[in-house]
Amino acid sequence: MAPAMLTINSKNYGSWSLRGWLLCKLAGLDFIEQMLSSDDPTTRAELLLLSPSFLVPCLTHGGVKVWDTLAIAEYLNEVKPDAALLPKSRAARAACRSICGEMHSGFSNLRSALPMNIKGRFPGFKIWAGAAADVARVVSIWNASLADSKGPFLFGKRPGMADAMYAPVCTRFLTYDVKLDPVCAAYCDAVMGLPEMQEWVAAAKAEHEEVLELDVEF
């Protein structure tokens, strides 16, 4: 079988691409990357949250094409069950799917006010009320999940589906100097310390393409 292919966009700005890529890495899937240029109109629309549907990342594997991040996660959980992307217990799986679904469909103020920009650093960044409410909700989710799982990841000792879904938020909190309680700060450190995340961050920092709308001086 030919190796799987994952189509992604910018590693510096592409939060959905990071989620799909990290899921594939955590699943142990052998895949090659196909990078779309940020100059492509469809790609820019996705990066700027102007697209009605997100078609990147897109995983092609064994003649199957999957292009929604949650669908990619569920597909990988089927083909790579030993990776344990979802927790073992039914209750934990339900909680995992719920908080992943919330990230997938919500937090619009957080996305627009704090766009992913791994190369950027904005100390003392002012977070307005709309985004602040989203930050508070993320912190609440993390604290509840970590209290149940005992960490260091949202559902236990191994990173999984939920951590991949929230990994771009960890990068945002670093970029925009979001102050966190010790439990959430330690969680962010654990996610950012993953070898897979370090690989992604290094590639993002080496990326030459810029999207000026996402790289302004706030």
pLDDT of residue 56: 86
Q: Give the distance from CA 8 to its chain's centroid.
A: 13
Burial class (CB in 10 A: 0-12, 13-18, 19+), 41: exposed
- Asked if pLDDT for residue 215 goes beyond 70, the answer is no
Q: Can you give the pTM of this predicted structure?
A: 0.92
The contacts of residue 85 (CB under 8 Å, 6+ apart) are 23, 26, 27, 73, 76, 77, 160, 161, 164
Indicate the pLDDT class of residue 217, thresholds 50, 70 and 90.
very low
- Asked if pLDDT for residue 48 goes beyond 80, the answer is no
Query: What letter does residue 121 receive in the DSSP assignment?
Result: -
Q: What is the CATH number of the domain that holds 178?
A: 1.20.1050.10
Same domain for 103 and 75: no
pLDDT of residue 218: 42
Indicate the pLDDT class of residue 1, thresholds 50, 70 and 90.
low
Same domain for 182 and 107: yes
* Overall number of domains in the chain: 2
75-99 residue pLDDT tens: 999 999 999 999 999 999 999 999 9
Same domain for 47 and 112: no
| Beta sheet of 31-35, edge-to-edge order | 31-35, 4-8, 58-61, 64-66
Distance CA 118, CA 49 (A): 17
Residue at 189: amino acid letter = D
Same domain for 115 and 142: yes
| 8 A C-beta contact, residue 20 and residue 57 | yes
Same domain for 10 and 41: yes
Q: How large is the average pLDDT for residues 24-44?
A: 85
Q: Give the distance from CA 143 to its chain's centroid.
A: 18
Q: What is the CATH number of the domain that holds 64?
A: 3.40.30.10
Same domain for 95 and 196: yes
* Start-end of H helices in 114-192: 129-149, 161-175, 182-192
- Both tokens of 93, joined, read 């799986």
Distance CA 189, CA 202 (A): 16
Same domain for 108 and 79: no
Q: What are phi and psi of 4, to 5 degrees?
A: -65, 160
Q: What is the domain extent for residue 49?
A: 4-83+208-214
Closest by Cα among 65, 64, 84, 97 to 23: 84
Same domain for 104 and 77: no
pLDDT of residue 50: 59
For the four alpha carbons of 67, 5, 212 and 16, in that order, the dihedral sign comes to positive
